[in-house]
């Protein structure tokens, strides 16, 4: 009986650990909800990379164009900001993405950025390849991985809006992201496109996941198991609780299954504990 209880305890502990939402052990993530990359976010991204002399890679593949050259808009924006070495890296061929020739720019990269479009294209092109492995190496060496719109969602473990038919199906034919944050689903454009109820489609089926929705011109900066909000909009949190600076005692709230709340610039959140970090 004691042996059975011990095994049960070990099993429950393992399950609890699997359901934790955790960020990368090293490096930083810049996860932006879409729209123009405003100066506040751009400046922070470059700082986390180590400054304008840090080699940077931009991956526009989610956009779906037949070809991309070195003048892709975000690469141009980085150069205009003063970044000295920017390489646009793109392929739809998973075999090419698995070669040393293609991945060479990632060897000394301090920063990687995923552009917007459809996140499943990033999965089809890079998941499980040498390209993905070397992006993880960028993080492990203390670098930064960022992205906007599709480039935000791909950073989570569960791929929201990953269906190839359209972007309104929350749980589609692609469900695995790169998982830089574990046990999470990340949505984007949430308030700009009135998507603030869409996350419930996922959370109802997978209640173990933390849901986050990021608005345009807004980003979360993830380091370890915490993040800070920067930018002009809101970040919506779907963790089964409610938070407000003015409390909730006098509020008429919906059931736990329909709760969400908003964070904004200067707010911080603990992913592992799923709690807003008090500034007091």
pLDDT tens for each residue of 133-163:
999 999 999 999 999 999 999 999 999 999 9
Tell me the percentage of the chain whose pLDDT exceeds 70: 94
Whether the pLDDT of residue 10 is over 80: the answer is: no
pLDDT in tens, 187-215: 999 999 999 999 999 999 999 999 999 99
> Checking DSSP bridges between strand 275-276 and strand 268-270, what pairing results, if any?
antiparallel
Distance between CA atoms of residues 96 and 130, nearest Å: 9
Residue showing tokens 């090293």: 26
pLDDT in tens, 93-113: 999 999 999 999 999 999 999
Q: Which two tokens stand for residue 92?
A: 């739809």
Using pLDDT thresholds of 50, 70 and 90, give the confidence band for residue 83: very high
Cβ neighbours of residue 172 closer than 8 Å, sequence gap 6 or more: 120, 159, 161, 162, 163, 164, 165
Helix-strand-coil percent breakdown of the chain, rounded to 5? Answer: 30, 20, 50
Distance between CA atoms of residues 52 and 56, nearest Å: 9
Cβ neighbours of residue 122 closer than 8 Å, sequence gap 6 or more: 59, 61, 62, 114, 150, 151, 154, 178
pLDDT value of residue 250: 85
For domain 23-276, the question of CATH label 3.40.50.880 is answered with yes
Residue showing tokens 């345009």: 216
Q: What angle do CA 8, 9, 14 make, to 5 degrees?
A: 100
pLDDT in tens, 239-254: 999 999 888 888 899 9
The one-character DSSP state at 196 is T
Query: What DSSP string describes 86-143?
Result: EEE---S-TTGGGSHHHHGGGSS-SEEEE-SS-HHHHHHHHTTSHHHHHHHHHHHTT-
pLDDT value of residue 247: 87
Tell me the percentage of the chain whose pLDDT exceeds 90: 89
């Amino acid at each position: 009986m004691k042996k059975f209880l011990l095994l049960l305890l070990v099993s429950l502990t393992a399950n609890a650990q699997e359901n934790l939402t955790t960020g990368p052990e090293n490096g930083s993530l810049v996860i932006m909800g879409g729209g123009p990359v405003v100066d506040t976010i751009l400046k922070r991204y470059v700082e986390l990379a180590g400054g304008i002399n840090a080699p940077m890679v931009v991956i526009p593949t989610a956009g779906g164009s037949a070809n991309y050259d070195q003048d892709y808009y975000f690469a141009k924006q980085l150069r205009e900001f003063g970044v000295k070495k920017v390489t646009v890296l793109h392929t739809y061929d998973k075999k090419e993405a698995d070669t040393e020739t293609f991945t060479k720019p990632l060897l000394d990269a301090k920063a990687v950025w995923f552009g917007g479009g459809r996140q499943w294209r990033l999965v089809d092109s890079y998941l499980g390849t040498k390209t993905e492995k070397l992006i993880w190496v960028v993080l492990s060496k203390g670098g930064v991985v960022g992205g906007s719109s599709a480039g935000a969602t791909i950073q989570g473990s569960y791929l929201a809006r990953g269906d190839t038919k359209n972007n309104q199906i929350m749980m589609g034919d692609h469900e695995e992201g790169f998982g830089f944050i574990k046990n999470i689903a990340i949505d984007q454009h949430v308030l700009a496109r009135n998507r603030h109820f869409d996350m419930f489609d996922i959370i109802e089926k997978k209640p173990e996941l933390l849901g986050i929705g990021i608005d345009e011109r807004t980003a979360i900066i993830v380091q370890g198991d915490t993040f800070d909000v920067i930018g002009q909009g809101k970040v919506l949190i779907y963790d089964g609780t409610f938070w407000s600076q003015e409390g909730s005692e006098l509020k008429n709230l919906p059931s736990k299954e329909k709760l969400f709340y908003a964070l904004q610039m200067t707010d911080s959140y603990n992913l592992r504990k799923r709690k807003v970090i008090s500034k007091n």
